Chain A
Amino acid sequence: MAEFEDGEALLRAARAAREQGYRRMEAYTPFPVEGLPEVLSVRGRRLPLIVLGGGLVGGATGLLLQWYAAAVNYPFNVGGRPHASWPAFIPVTFELTILVAALSAVLGMFALNGLPQPYHPVFNVAEFSAASRDRFFLCIEATDPRFDLQETRAFLETLGARGVFEVEP
């Protein structure tokens, strides 16, 4: 794991590592760094689908629930309106769509990125406590096929890092 002063240095280092053929990398930054996800080939394509699915489920639930309650299970005359008067169902359908979509956004985010995770090996590095303040870290994981402790360490040191650390599992 290498420590950098700013996002630009991290971005350059990540590109260099990518050219070297490293794939199983992870970057830790205090704020989103423009262009970093593309370099690390992180594509957030699944969460929007989960949110869309949640929204559709919520909307369908809202509509069917009202239709069932108003027209099927206990129909009665309220102010002379038709039993299944769809314009009156729109607000609840709309709000349930948003509610379930928002809940699936949060829960889907947790499920996809494995949070909450109070224990993580990178915390074993003392300098890593600055990662959420003003330091940028690039971590190449040992599961990478090109990983070799000496070689990778030497490579990271060529990238102009403030320091290179070994992360204990």
Chain B
Amino acid sequence: MGQIFHPSTNTFSKVSIFGAVFFLAGVAAFALMFLRSSYVTGVGVVEPQPVPFSHAHHVGGLGLDCRYCHTAVEDSSFAGLPPTHTCMTCHSQIWNTSPMLQPVRESYATDQPLAWNRVHNLSDFVYFNHSIHVQKGIGCATCHGPVDQMPLMWKAEPMTMEWCLDCHRQPERYIRPREEVFNMRYEPPPDQLALGTQLVEEYGIEKARLTDCYVCHR
């Protein structure tokens, strides 16, 4: 027995070469899953806010229309957050001694806006226009989820380019009649594709141009 290597090294070397295939496949699978995980996309993650504002209470409970606070959504690219004035239209009288609302009253008194933390934050090289989507029959809940049931705001969709293009390629799968856009409880009809195809025609949506680069990356 004048050998350098033990017989087990044969098995070891072959298994390690064969196992490298599985190792690389595992790394690739992990990378793909990681990039789509909520850790990266932020889906379902609640951001802490200066005031624990509940959409579930104001929309689901009191029945406020989305446009009461997000006034610019129909005619501006940016839907906008309401100023402190909007809060104080009611909260100067209602719960006007509540400690929870202390930051709102302070903001009103000192003329310093509340520092809300953005939940849906696209990169600055993406130009997103709210008004065009609202005008062409894409409902709030399609992208923002059931906001009327969210005690605190979270992302319902990943807001990845893959997800945006999914609808820009086949808008008929998600489009709804214009008058239903702000209806948070809208259910798509069973013949969604037929209705959607008709609405795409009716609203003059040019599908051929929707996936061009300049549409978003202006």
Contact = CB atoms under 8 A, between A and B. Distances in A.
B13 A116 contact: yes
Interface residues of B, number: 17
A119 B17 contact: no
A117 interface: yes
A1 to B, nearest CB: 14
B164 to A, nearest CB: 12
A118 B202 CA distance: 73
A124 B2 contact: yes
Interface in B1-34: 1-10, 13-14, 17
Contacts of B9: 118-119
A86 interface: no
B212 A124 contact: no
A123 interface: yes
Given A116-B13, A118-B13, A119-B10, A76 B211 contact: yes
B109 interface: no
B213 interface: yes
What does DSSP make chain A's interface, helix, strand, loop or mixed? Answer: loop
Given A74-B211, A76-B211, A76-B213, A123 B14 contact: no
Interface residues of A, number: 12
Interface string A55-99: 000000000000000000010110000000000000000000000
A76 B7 CA distance: 58
B2 A126 contact: yes
A135 B165 CA distance: 68
A110 B17 contact: yes
Nearest to B21: A107
Given A123-B2, A123-B3, A117 B10 contact: yes
Nearest to B165: A74
B206 to A, nearest CB: 14
Nearest to A74: B211
A76 B5 contact: no
A119 B211 contact: no
The 7 closest A-B pairs by CB, nearest first: A118-B5, A118-B9, A116-B13, A119-B7, A119-B5, A123-B3, A119-B10
Interface of A: 74, 76-77, 110, 116-119, 123-124, 126, 168
30 contacts: A74-B165, A74-B211, A76-B211, A76-B213, A77-B212, A110-B17, A116-B10, A116-B13, A116-B14, A116-B17, A117-B10, A117-B13, A118-B5, A118-B9, A118-B10, A118-B13, A119-B3, A119-B5, A119-B6, A119-B7, A119-B8, A119-B9, A119-B10, A123-B2, A123-B3, A123-B4, A124-B1, A124-B2, A124-B3, A126-B2
Given A74-B211, A76-B212, A116-B10, 11 more contacts: A77-B212, A116-B13, A116-B14, A117-B13, A118-B5, A119-B6, A119-B8, A119-B10, A123-B2, A124-B1, A126-B2
